[in-house]
Amino acid sequence: MNNIPDPYAESVDPSVQCTSCEAVCCRLTVVLLPDDHVPEWLIHRDERGMETLAKNEEGWCLAVDPDKLCCSIYEERPTICRKFAMGSPGCRDARLEWRNHYSIPTPVVLI
């Protein structure tokens, strides 16, 4: 056992929870990797052949289940989605950008 601190663990804010989030990370562009196997209708190919998850007109990943507001391919979701950690810097940036873009006030924290 070593005592070297994990820098990634320290970068996660445990107060951030998916259960109180609009799943705004599902608006980010997700590049598909060779080992990813998602349904063909979810694949967007650009003119250079790069594959990303397809989005709807409002910018949400097509795999978002509109009724349950969750990932409809959770077990087969791409690698990048699997590695995207709740409370990580990328997660917090996505939430901040969403709030700023839509002028959503930061929730008041009652102590």
Residues at the contact surface with ligand SF4, assessed by CB under 6 A: 16, 18, 21, 23-26, 30, 53, 61, 63-64, 71, 73, 77-78, 81, 84, 86, 91, 94-95
Any bridge partners for residue 48, and if so which? none
Rg (CA), the chain: 16
Q: What is the DSSP string of 76-101?
A: G--HHHHH--TTSHHHHHHHHHHHHH
**43/86 with CB nearer ligand SF4:** 86
CB of 10 vs ligand SF4, minimal distance in Å = 17
CB of 31 vs ligand SF4, minimal distance in Å = 11
